[in-house]
Amino acid sequence: MAKVSFLGLGVMGAPIARHLAKAGHDVTVYNRTRERADAWVAQYGGRAVATPAAAGEDADAVFSCVGADGDLEAVTLRNDGVFRTMKKGAVYVDHTTVSARIARQLAVEGRDRGLLVVDAPVSGGQAGAENGTLSIMCGGSPKAMAAAEPYLKAYASRIVHVGPPGAGQTTKMCNQICIAGALQGVSEALRFAQSSDLDLDKVFEAISGGAAASWQMLNRWKSMSDDSFDFGFAVDWMRKDLGLALDEARSNGATLPVTALVDQFYADIQHMGGGRQDTSALVRRLPK
């Protein structure tokens, strides 16, 4: 049993921390809203602390899943950040989707402190976190990856070491680019079928087993047909992620015309009041 800490108990972080506790680890939790940390401890055990720095004391491994670059910097590098108290040789794994820049910065800062740092964004959504079936794309040194992987197995069905520090984050950008394009295609196909007076269930049956199939089609066609958009990952967060990809593309010279277009379509959904709806709400901007 290891002493582990988890920073950030949102819809992803709370169930991941639960899997770590279920695996037998001694779990300490920190959340910006203390009441949420106390509620987690009341349900799953362990202890809650008031600062990230307190969470880092004597921990063998620390995990985080917060909001954006600024939140991650706050829990790691600022005065009460966890990097100030973690012991040499400890593992730090970040599951937040952030810029590759800050992921690389944390790897350097961690190396200078004798820490093993892995950027490890996830795919699979809230259901994957709850069920312990996340896909994790990891960036970091081989040594850091070897130290982190035994912990990750508690809540992941796929763990891939994709490259050096920052590679996990750029791979997550690839993931979001693919999702954006797939959802736009499903949205247009759905509205085209409706305009053609086709039976949507029959269309799904006909095309979901062939080359047109995707996770988005298989899992969202029916809910999109029903105008139901309460299934996890929100438009607001997708826009954040696509913004990261577009920023990185400006640095590495990649061209992302479809991603840029779909990002603006998501802006339309935000203006329609759908920022907290899930990403399949993209279909809302297309008239029936």
Asked if 172 is an active-site residue, the reply is yes
Q: Which two tokens stand for residue 178?
A: 């693919």
Distance from C-alpha of 132 to C-alpha of 135, rounded to nearest angstrom: 9
Quote the CA–CA distance of 81 and 226 in Å, as a whole number: 45
**188's tokens:** 């247009």
* Closest among 113, 124, 116, 120 to 61, alpha carbons compared: 116
- Residue 187 has, within 13 A of its CA and on its CB side, a CA count of 20
Residue of 88, 172, 202, 288 marked active site: 172
Sequential DSSP letters for the chain? --EEEEE--STTHHHHHHHHHHTT-EEEEE-SSHHHHHHHHHHH-SEE-SSHHHHHTT-SEEEE--SSHHHHHHHHTSTT-GGGTPPTT-EEEE-S---HHHHHHHHHHHHHTT-EEEE--EESHHHHHHHT-EEEEEES-HHHHHHHHHHHTTTEEEEEEEESTTHHHHHHHHHHHHHHHHHHHHHHHHHHHHHTT--HHHHHHHHTTSTT--HHHHHHHHHHHTT---SSSBHHHHHHHHHHHHHHHHHH----HHHHHHHHHHHHHHHTT-TTSBGGGGGGGS--
Question: Which are the catalytic amino acids?
Answer: 172
